[in-house]
Structure 1
Amino acid sequence: MNRNTDSGIELHQNTPDAGRRNLLKLTGAGAAAFGAASFLKTPNAKAQNMSQDWDKVFPKSEKVDHEKVTFKNRYGITLAGDLYLPKDRANDRLPAIVVSGPFGAVKEQSSGLYAQTMAERGFVTLAFDPSYTGESGGEPRNVASPDINTEDFMAGVDYLGLQASVDRERIGVIGICGWGGMALNAVAADKRVKAVVASTMYDMTRVMSKGYNDSVTLEQRTQALEQLSRQRWVDAEKGTPAYQPPYNELKGGEAQFLVDYHDYYMTPRGYHKRAVNSGNAWTITTPMSFMNMPILSYIKEISPRPVLLIHGEKAHSRYFSETAFEAAAEPKELVIIPGANHVDLYDRMDVIPFDKIAGFFNQHLAA
């Protein structure tokens, strides 16, 4: 694990020979923002060949039907998703929910678990891989964008609204971790969505531009952008982007939240070979657009539609939800889960308040 400086940023000289060893690190962006190491050699712009096997990190429910689907976003990128439908749906048009996250995860992990569980509770749900990741299309691989990834949620709403089993006037969104911030941003703009839940939410533009607890100074930010800008010449010269090194390989002495990420992404609990955070990596220049584009500027415009924020009491990221809650307009609710850390809300069925989430959507997606 590379060390963090007291300032929260560690800069390495960028030269053509330095290659993939050179990178920017912002405070705490580590496991949460950038995931883990290596790179995926899958440069196809179309959706990757989708596995038809049940390759999720959670067991398949006998209460729902499941199918693999694809759909396109506004930029023409083909997204891959898992569609979950209640078995007892008959010919009814049901309320539906688009789900994605965490940042650097795939639909076979937390978002799929949320989607399947909500389908058990009577909703048609769609868990998808964001652009450039997992089985979705886009090149180069493993790039994130506050704009395109916000659009990905809206494309999911497009898709669900065309399904015969869905009442398009009753669509909600769930975003997990870094995709919680994307979900809030998408719903602020997309007035078709009637309600939104952000679970263990990260504001990725805030953490990448300011570091954890907003500790990065203007001088440090300028230095970081200087390096990232020059990295673009390195990438342009080589014709391929450089990728970041491992974050989730523990060597001892790491902060507890990094240990928690490792426990989910790098062990049988949550490891998935296609996840950025499970032994793969974002491009070095991924932070650039996040550092100059605050995604929660218009959170008040979600109102009068309701917002439910859920966070763990012990989560290092709790302040993101608390700040978002303060900025949002009514109707809004913040639920703090006693004793829970950040990743407990990824998959702990005894911790995630599914009764609360289902009740929220039953109320606000009512016919």
Structure 2
Amino acid sequence: MNNDQSQMKQAGQPDTGRRNLLKMTGVGIAAACVAPLFTTSAAAAAPVSAAQTGLKLGTEWDKTFAKSDKVEHKKVSFKNRYGITLAADLYQPNNPGIINNGGKLAAIVVGGPFGAIKEQSSGLYAQTMAERGFITLAFDPSFTGESGGEPRHVASPDINTEDFSAAVDFLGLLPNVDRERIGMLGICGWGGMALNAAAIDKRVKAVVASTMYDMTRVMSKGYNDSVTKEQRTAALEQLGQQRWKDAEKGEPALGPVYNELKGGEPQFLVDYAGYYKSRDRGFHPRAINSNSSWTITNPLSFMNMPLLSYIDEISPRPLLLIHGEKAHSRYFSETAYAAAAEPKELMIIKGANHVDLYDQMDVIPFDKMTSFFRQHLVA
């Protein structure tokens, strides 16, 4: 990434247009990566089928990106601390000599975005970093994709943080991985999960969060922390009423299908649809953001459990935050950076929006991430 394409900064303010956008009433409700907060609409799509415990993983290459001949790929599975079986893709470099150390390599766990699966952005990041010499693991979080867990299409700040650490467990047991050189990389909502996992899991030696969302913050406070106490109370009342409906039915209802544009949406919702709904870009039938939605009650566990309370405890291990200059979500990385302790770095990509960092190879700063992980996992 050239200097004119990005900028390093100690602090920063969003541009006026973006600031006004974030203040719009109701913007947080409609966001593609956030479950509905102030609606009880049950126009639910049927959940996509998913494997359960005793996973039967597909063997075909069904990623949203081309397969690289520079890496070896295979599907794997492992259990987290709660006994949920996770499905993952393991990528290993064909020519690992550049960072070979006593026959063992540095490794990186990769997850995200929120509502996405390993066949999308996390897999692209993992394969690319494997091309650069690291062993990488992209996983489907609990309750989604090919991973196990019931009910489907729910998320948890606790369980999904644990998913990251379970992936560290898996990598650290591989004979060709140096368990003292494991890093973590989270994208979008799973960027916040990765930061939370790195704060508590001292085995993680370096962490990167790209185009990061703090899901507990946005679900409980709305975009730009614009939700009032009265609105929050009303949302919790509605979620409680939805629990009665789910209990009576015996299963949780799903909200409306995500990223179905009707016209007049803010640009960042158009951007989400441009990625998740485009078969030439990021659409995948197993992805919640492409083909379905989270359960209506999904926000409950996020509403009073802030993820980044202990972000300063990532230190003294290094932290790199990457965000687009024009991303509506940029303030999440800026405030996380301010709260984190040294060593830390914030990289702002000139001209980039939020989803550019999902898959645009000329925008994602892979050179920067490679040098960061080589410095802190290899040196």
TM value normalised by structure 1: 0.91
Task: Please say if residues 68 and 80 of structure 1, whose CA atoms lie closer than 8 Å, have aligned partners that are also in contact.
Answer: yes
Matched, 1:31 2:32: yes
For 1:272, the equivalent position in structure 2 comes to 284
Deviation string 1:20-78 (CA, Å, 9 cap, x unpaired) is xxxxxx72552122499723254764164311000000000000000000000000000
**How many residues align structurally?**
347
Task: Please say if residues 258 and 292 of structure 2, whose CA atoms lie closer than 8 Å, have aligned partners that are also in contact.
Answer: no
Residues 44 and 135 of structure 1: is their aligned pair in 2 closer, same or farther, counting only changes over 3 Å? closer
For 2:66, the equivalent position in structure 1 comes to 59
Q: 1-side partners of 2:157 and 2:287: how far apart? A: 18
Q: 1-side partners of 2:166 and 2:275: how far apart? A: 28
- The correspondence for 2:318, drawn from 293, 306, 315, is 306
Matched, 1:336 2:343: no
Task: Please say if residues 325 and 353 of structure 2, whose CA atoms lie closer than 8 Å, have aligned partners that are also in contact.
Answer: yes
Q: Equivalent residues in 2 for 1:174-253 (5 A)? A: 174-253=185-264
Cα distance, 1:246 vs structure 2: 2.0
Task: Please say if residues 300 and 329 of structure 1, whose CA atoms lie closer than 8 Å, have aligned partners that are also in contact.
Answer: yes
User: C-alpha root-mean-square deviation of aligned residues, in Å?
Assistant: 1.8
Task: Please say if residues 44 and 253 of structure 2, whose CA atoms lie closer than 8 Å, have aligned partners that are also in contact.
Answer: no
Q: 3-state SS of the aligned residue for 2:207? A: strand
Deviation string 1:117-146 (CA, Å, 9 cap, x unpaired) is 000000000000000000000011110000
Cα distance, 1:303 vs structure 2: 0.2
Q: 3-state SS of the aligned residue for 2:290? A: coil
Task: Please say if residues 127 and 136 of structure 2, whose CA atoms lie closer than 8 Å, have aligned partners that are also in contact.
Answer: yes
- The correspondence for 1:361, drawn from 349, 373, 378, is 373
In structure 2, runs of 5+ residues without a counterpart are 1-22, 37-42
Matched, 1:294 2:295: no
Q: What amino acid sits opposite 1:325 in the alignment? A: Y
Q: 3-state SS of the aligned residue for 1:304? A: coil
Identity of matched residues, %: 73
Q: 3-state SS of the aligned residue for 1:173? A: strand
Q: 1-side partners of 2:83 and 2:203: how far apart? A: 21
Deviation string 1:221-252 (CA, Å, 9 cap, x unpaired) is 00100110121111111101100002311111
Cα distance, 1:93 vs structure 2: 0.6
For 1:94, the equivalent position in structure 2 comes to 105
Q: 2-side partners of 1:33 and 1:250: how far apart? A: 15
Matched, 1:148 2:159: yes
- Bigger drift between 169-178 and 224-233 goes to 224-233
Matched, 1:351 2:367: no
Cα distance, 1:97 vs structure 2: 0.2
For 2:4, the equivalent position in structure 1 comes to none
- Bigger drift between 223-232 and 319-328 goes to 223-232
- Bigger drift between 51-60 and 29-38 goes to 29-38
Matched, 1:325 2:337: yes
Q: 1-side partners of 2:329 and 2:256: how far apart? A: 23
Q: 2-side partners of 1:80 and 1:271: how far apart? A: 19
TM value normalised by structure 2: 0.88
Q: What amino acid sits opposite 2:34 in the alignment? A: A
Q: 1-side partners of 2:182 and 2:52: how far apart? A: 28
Residues 315 and 7 of structure 1: is their aligned pair in 2 closer, same or farther, counting only changes over 3 Å? closer
Q: What amino acid sits opposite 1:71 in the alignment? A: F
Q: 3-state SS of the aligned residue for 2:32? A: helix
- The correspondence for 1:81, drawn from 67, 76, 88, is 88
In structure 1, runs of 5+ residues without a counterpart are 1-5, 10-25
Q: 1-side partners of 2:273 and 2:176: how far apart? A: 38
Residues 355 and 185 of structure 1: is their aligned pair in 2 closer, same or farther, counting only changes over 3 Å? same
- Bigger drift between 228-237 and 146-155 goes to 228-237
Q: 2-side partners of 1:187 and 1:137: how far apart? A: 23
Task: Please say if residues 100 and 107 of structure 1, whose CA atoms lie closer than 8 Å, have aligned partners that are also in contact.
Answer: yes
Residues 41 and 335 of structure 1: is their aligned pair in 2 closer, same or farther, counting only changes over 3 Å? closer
Deviation string 1:318-342 (CA, Å, 9 cap, x unpaired) is 0000000000000000000000000
Task: Please say if residues 317 and 342 of structure 1, whose CA atoms lie closer than 8 Å, have aligned partners that are also in contact.
Answer: yes
Task: Please say if residues 316 and 342 of structure 1, whose CA atoms lie closer than 8 Å, have aligned partners that are also in contact.
Answer: yes
